[in-house]
Amino acid sequence: MKKHTISKMFLYRHRFGIGYLLLGVLFAIMLVWLPTITPNGLSADEMESVVISRNLNKDTILSGNIIDLPYHVLQKVSIILLGLTPYGIKLPSIIIGGLLGFLFILLLNRWFKNNVAIMASVLAVLSSSFLYIAGSGTPLIMTVFWPTLLFWLGSKIQGVNKPKPFYCFIFAIVLLLSLFTPYMIYLAIFIVFYAFAHPHLRFTITHLPKIPLFLVTLLVLGGVTLIVMNALRGQATITGLLFMNDFSWSNYLENIKEAFIPFFKWSGMVESTFLAPLIGLASLALAITGLISTYHGFFASRNSIATYLIVFTIIISGFNPSCAILLILPLAILIAHGFRYILNKWYGLFPENPYARVFGIVPIAIFLGVMITSDISHFIFGYRYNPAVANQFTNDLSLIRNHVEDGSTLVVLNESEYNFYKILADTALINHKDIKIVNRLPEKTEKKLATLGQIEENLEEGETSAFENYNLDRIITNSKSQNSDRIYLYSASNTETSEPAVEATESPSGE
């Protein structure tokens, strides 16, 4: 009687719907909030991505510049609409991150029961590693997005009596688009090899409708031919799709070591844009439990795919250490296996006791709450205060927008940064200010002058300072203890010389 009463309770009947709704709301809030919390600024990779996106046009595409083409098209549109702002730069990753989080939920829900899927989804989409790629204005998120989408589409094809041709066509189109992302050609080869090596998938392929299968194959081959023909116009394109720019086989093993240090370096002091550890100890323990629990059913596709993906991630990480971020997909699958194993053991202890099932949720909820809270705190405060990671990001863009006055000339000597900030002047997006961006100190200007960093430090005897026509008015600093002097503001020397004011934009933090 009691068991029947519990099953009729509103919260019990709709527990999974409420859980997914709360997860969706929390995830959406985190995504919208990402550009304003952390990382504190932009990385060099984000600046480079913006330059590539902004310079993208019909001629560059026809000349063979197709690396990460879908992402750069989205980023260019975002910058045109929102300007060169943190939101404008990161919006494509936030949108794709939202889709990726939804795909994680769909994929895990496809392979596991609701109770297991929702717990694993919570840990996956609210982890520090996932939030980082969703808030980074680089195409790195595509390395995780394409495999997740392909495996979800594959799950809609495999395991049903009559696969729908629609999913076959979508799978082919997605596979084709994924080839624009570096190293995804290896994923395509891996999928083909895995499909023919795995008995269940091989059976599914042989029983697909022949005409749709032929058309899908023709579509993929035709698209691949066009991509290859376009890539052959530039050697850099082929290299970029297959390897990193300065790749060398002698550094292959060193790249793998560098790739996985941020995942398992518990001290957190790793010089990288990835915050170590990217995978928490509790999540890693769950993943190991899940890996062990799949031993008996290893040849089921959902069991073996996580292991194969880990091997695949290790292989491509030798080409580019950043690709190690793909590990979050197989780890999410293994964490789901770990939760399923723990719940099955718990329910096995009390097979006929409904109260044990209900009250068993309490310690699991506390466990999840502690993991999520600690992971989000690690993400927010680690990227802001860990010196090994915080120094990889700069908030110069916001400082320029807030402190460089209308009519000023901004001097940027670093070539990569100059190409980035030149977009500000070209598009007049600095809060409607007219600011000129130059890469050398002008001989004379009546307007105010600003420099990113000190241009000259020690003059030799007899040399004349390039700043003799200017007075240093203010020094704009950031919150970092290293390289905290970011912008030097000068005025024409028709006024009396005075001591420059040092303006700290934020309270000092970190070492």
pLDDT band of 464, cuts 50, 70, 90: low
* Tokens 């090994």 belong to residue: 388
pLDDT of residue 302: 65
pLDDT at 197 over 80: no
pLDDT of residue 299: 55
Cis peptide preceding 165, ω within 30 of 0: no
Express as a percent the part of the chain with pLDDT over 90: 7
N-to-C CA span, the chain: 63
pLDDT of residue 491: 82
Furthest-apart CA atoms within the chain: distance in Å: 98
Instruction: Look at 10-14, 324-328, 364-368 and tell me which has the smallest mean pLDDT.
Output: 10-14
Q: From CA 49, how far away is CA 420, in angstroms rounded? A: 9
Sheet holding 436-438, edge to edge: 436-438, 409-411, 449-452, 485-492, 470-477, 501-504
Q: From CA 172, how far away is CA 178, in angstroms rounded? A: 10
C-beta atoms surrounding 263 within 10 Å: 19
pLDDT of residue 508: 42
Please list the residues that pair with 438 across neighbouring strands. Answer: 411
pLDDT of residue 511: 37
Express as a percent the part of the chain with pLDDT over 70: 79
pLDDT band of 77, cuts 50, 70, 90: very high
pLDDT of residue 507: 44
C-beta atoms surrounding 213 within 10 Å: 17
C-beta atoms surrounding 180 within 10 Å: 22
Maximum average pLDDT range among 153-167, 351-365, 411-425, 467-481:
411-425
Mean pLDDT of 230-236: 66
pLDDT at 4 over 60: no
Q: From CA 250, how far away is CA 237, in angstroms rounded? A: 22
pTM: 0.84
Does residue 438 sit in helix, strand or coil?
Answer: strand
Does residue 274 sit in helix, strand or coil?
Answer: coil
431: nearest Cα among 448, 406, 456 = 406
pLDDT of residue 159: 62
> Which residues are CB-neighbours of 27 under 8 A, at least 6 positions away?
98, 101, 125, 126
Concatenated DSSP letters of 359-388: HTHHHHHHHHHHHHHHHHHHHHHHHHH-HH
272 token code pair = 């990288």
Mean pLDDT of 255-272: 76
Q: From CA 233, how far away is CA 244, in angstroms rounded? A: 18
CA distances from 219 to 150, 167, 227 (A): 16, 14, 12
More confident residue, 305 or 303: 305
Does residue 320 sit in helix, strand or coil?
Answer: coil
Is residue 124 within 8 Å of 149, Cβ to Cβ? no
Is residue 147 within 8 Å of 185, Cβ to Cβ? no
Does residue 356 sit in helix, strand or coil?
Answer: helix
Q: From CA 509, how far away is CA 27, in angstroms rounded? A: 28
pLDDT at 161 over 70: no
147: nearest Cα among 315, 320, 312 = 312
Helix (H) or strand (E) holding 42: strand 42-43
Q: From CA 410, how far away is CA 423, in angstroms rounded? A: 12
Q: From CA 442, how far away is CA 466, in angstroms rounded? A: 9
109: nearest Cα among 95, 94, 124, 97 = 124
Mean pLDDT of 375-382: 85
**Cα 478-484-485 angle, rounded to 5 deg:** 100
Mean pLDDT, the chain, rounded, equals 78
pLDDT of residue 232: 67
Maximum average pLDDT range among 137-146, 231-240, 404-413, 455-464:
137-146
pLDDT at 215 over 80: no
User: pLDDT tens across 387-445, in order?
Assistant: 888 888 888 888 888 888 887 888 888 888 888 888 877 765 555 677 888 888 777 66
> Which residues are CB-neighbours of 426 under 8 A, at least 6 positions away?
none
User: pLDDT tens across 22-52, in order?
Assistant: 777 777 777 777 777 767 788 888 999 999 9
